[in-house]
Structure 1
């Protein structure tokens, strides 16, 4: 496998994985185009990039077939008065091993010709590996012609659009094809044919107008060759561009790279940006909302009251369905705000329904223990308090009896009994107040425990019913975007150019790395 094969193969598989992950979340048209590009490039790579496939495309009467014959220096393509003439794809290959490729391109056997190297002039060696196709007219009214063109165009490495002075601005060409070729400048050439029919003084203006239209189509730096099959103007210029294309083997993969780049850009349009959403930023807000919907604080307060008072049976009510639905809607709006409609629909389908969220909330809250038992020291403190009260009462009675001299105790013991009674009463009060404080502290802890357990349960419900599906979808969204970015071309191929030697007026025809050939072509129109 060549370097280009490996690189394009990796990009193709990245795009294929992205397409598989995105699936039905993409618009049908986008999915179809990307899938078609992936399938086409895979097929093309299966044949390798040893051949450079060049297609002559254009409208009725543009002179494609005559141009085909001029480039191939053979009289093979159909040229006639009746239009449209070219009904099927015609091919000329500059190698003997293009059979499988031509089969794949759908070129019939009787529509093929091979340049035999031993019979050709020496300069034909610079086109070794070239496969030249003459396509049917894209604007033909004949049934099936455009279908043939549309099938072949995505499969070729270099498109040579042949236009004529009368119809070069044809809307069907620009809107139907050229504007769809954005990003494929290195794989596109425009030939303004029949330039001999234009007055010499108007030719440059016409070429500049073609370039302007191409810029409007988003195609910068596309070579425009003024040519005539009758007078041979520009034919050698065009052959020089083909030699340059064949010599730069990396351009053989340019069409596939452009297809992948365009498909990746299309896929990126469905995943326009990183989604600025994090679950931590919304969990607390929606836990608050679910807690209100389920009456969590009310139940916690009831638990506290039951612990303080020693009676009560608090329980959770069914969560308010409208509040649950509103919380889910806010979640979807926040997490899906930056997503395209297909992804938003998938997000809504992947998370739990409002009813399921409500059921999960109810189940989770039912699992929370609502402990209303008093403190474990309750019995002891009660006994101590009662004992202290009893002692205080007994001592108080004894003090009264002693002070009435019913109980002979003397003044000293009477005073002692009174003090002891007062101490016992104070002790009873202290024990009672301490028990009350212990109960209140326990009630507060129990209420806080219910709130903490409830919020934790609600957070788990949100994570399971909404958070996990949302994060999974956003991870897939990110993966699709990263794979699509990985499938983008690292850098577009340099556009084809015809360089003019300013000293001699000759065109430099690049034939292979490190090899340059000068041919006196006269003024270059490009």
Structure 2
């Protein structure tokens, strides 16, 4: 496996994993496009990137077959009155081992020719490894022609669109093909054929108009070769571009890289940015909302009152359904604000429904202890207080009787009885106040305990029913984005260039046999 194979393979697998993670959260069109790109590149990599596949595509009468013959320097492809339209794929390969690739491309064996061997070794060495295809006319009314074109185009490494001066602005070409190939500048060439039929003074304007249409299609810096198969104008330039393609050897990888880059960009459009959401920032707010919906503080207050008063039976009632639904909606809005619709729908289906959330809240709160028992010292304190009251009453009566001389005791004893009665009364009061304070303190602790336990239970509910699935989805969203970014092309292929001096369409000398050097080529000026 070459380094290009390994790099492209890793990028393809990253994109495949991202697609698998994202799944139905993507728009159907995006999913289909990315899946098709992944499958196509995988299939292409299975054959390696040793061959450079160039396809001549165009409409009826554009001169593809004549161009094919001029490039191959053969008359293998039928032209003119013999066959007004191209019905099947024809191939010329500058390699002896392209059979498997041609089988994969669906080229019939009787429509193949090979330019490799001793007779061609000197003249054709600069195109070694090239596989040239003459595709059916994309605009033919014959059934199946466009299907063949659509099947083969995604598999080739360089597209040479052959157009003529009459139909170069054909909407079927631009909207049906060229505008569907963003990022393919490095692997697209346009041949403006039959330039000999255009007055010399109008040729430059015509070429400029073709380039304008290409820019409108999103294809910048695509070479436009003004050519004529009758006068051989532009044929040398075209062969020179093919030599560039073959020489750089990375065009197959470049096309695959461009396709992966476009697919990754499309996938990134479904995961446009990092989602600024953290569960801890929303938990507190939504715990408060659920606590209000369930009446947590009210029940806690009832527990405290029951502890203080010694009676009462507080209980949790079903939470307010509207408040639960509002809390869930607020959660989804906050977590899904930066997500695309497909991800938002997945988030909504992944978290608990309002009914499920209400049920989880009810179940969790039912496990909260609502202890209304008084303090453990309550009985002792009460008995002490009642005993002190009885003692105080008895001593008080005795003191009154002594004061009325109804009880024969001395003054000192009467005084002692009075002091003891007061002490008993104070003891009763202190015992009563102490018991009441203990009950209040216990009631406060129980109140806070119910609130704390309730909030902890609500937090667990929120984390499990809302937080965990939300975080899982956002982690997957981040993973898809990171994988798509890693699948982007960090070094796209340079566009093909027409080198040398410019020409506005004057007749050019025929291509000489042998190797055509780039330094000898002219340029069709934009």
Instruction: Specify the TM-score bucket, using the shorter chain as the normaliser.
Output: over 0.9
Q: Secondary structure at the match of 2:323?
A: helix
Alpha-carbon distance, 1:58 to partner: 1.1
The equivalent of 1:273 in structure 2 is 273
Instruction: Report if aligned partners of 2:287, 2:458 keep a CA contact under 8 Å in 1.
Output: yes
Residues in 2 aligned to 1:381 and 1:78: alpha-carbon distance in whole angstroms: 116
Give the superposition deviation at 1:384. 2.2
Equivalent residue, structure 1, for 2:29: 29
CA distance in 2, matches of 1:373, 1:332: 42
Does the aligned pair in 2 maintain the 1:357–1:465 contact within 8 Å? yes
1:18 match: 18
The residue that corresponds to 2:215 in the other structure is 215
CA contact (8 A) 1:94 1:130 kept: yes
Count residues with an aligned counterpart.
515
Q: Is the CA contact (8 Å cut-off) linking 1:211 and 1:224 kept in structure 2?
A: yes
Give the structure 1 partner of residue 449 of structure 2.
449
**Alignment partner, residue 109 of structure 1:** 109
In structure 2, distance between residues paired with 1:348 and 1:83:
60
Which residue number in structure 1 is paired with residue 505 of structure 2? none
- Trace 1:481-500 onto structure 2 (pairs within 5 A): 481-500=481-500
For residue 275 of structure 2, give the secondary structure of its aligned residue in structure 1: coil
Would the aligned equivalents of 2:303 and 2:370 in 1 still touch at CA under 8 Å? yes
Aligned to 2:403: 403
| Change beyond 3 A, Cα 1:82–1:435 | farther
1:463-520 CA-partner distances (Å, limit 9, x unpaired): 1112211211121111111111111111211111122269xxx9xxxxxxxx994654
3-state DSSP of counterpart to 1:457: helix
The equivalences for 1:419-438 within 5 A come to 419-438=419-438
Is the CA contact 1:225–1:234 (under 8 Å) kept in the aligned structure 2? yes
CA deviations on 1:206-263 (whole Å, 9 max, x unpaired) are 1111111111111111111111111111111111111111111222211111111111
Aligned to 2:458: 458
Question: Helix, strand or coil for the counterpart of 2:159?
Answer: strand
TM-score, scaled relative to structure 1:
0.94
Q: CA deviation at 1:448?
A: 1.3
Aligned counterparts of 1:516 and 1:142: Cα–Cα separation in 2: 38
TM-score, with normalisation over the residues of structure 2?
0.94
Give the secondary-structure state (helix, strand or coil) at the position aligned to 1:387.
Answer: helix
Name the CA distance, whole Å, in 2 between partners of 1:293 and 1:129.
Answer: 74
1:310-362 Cα distance to aligned partner (Å, 9 max, x none): 01111111222232222222222222222222222222222222222121111
The aligned counterpart of 2:237 is: 237
Distance 1:233 1:423, change over 3 A: same
CA–CA separation in structure 2 for the residues paired with 1:323 and 1:75? 80
C-alpha distance 406-490 of structure 1, shift in aligned 2 (>3 A): same
In the other structure, the counterpart of 1:345 is 345
- Whole-angstrom CA distance in 2 between matches of 1:192 and 1:522: 15
For 1:519 and 1:403, the matched residues in 2 are separated by 139
Displacement of 1:406 in angstroms is: 3.3
Distance 1:522 1:272, change over 3 A: closer
Runs of 4+ aligned residues of structure 1 deviating over 6 Å after TM superposition are none
The answer to whether the Cα contact below 8 Å between 1:51 and 1:252 also exists between their aligned partners in 2 is: yes
SS in 2 for 1:443: helix
Shift of 1:98: 0.6
Counterpart for residue 284 of structure 1 = 284
**8 Å Cα contact 1:30-1:267 kept in structure 2:** yes
Q: Deviation at 1:525?
A: 4.6
Aligned-pair Cα RMSD in Å: 2.0
Deviations 1:178-211 (A, max 9, x none): 1111111111111111111111121111111111
1:96 matched to which residue of 2?
Answer: 96
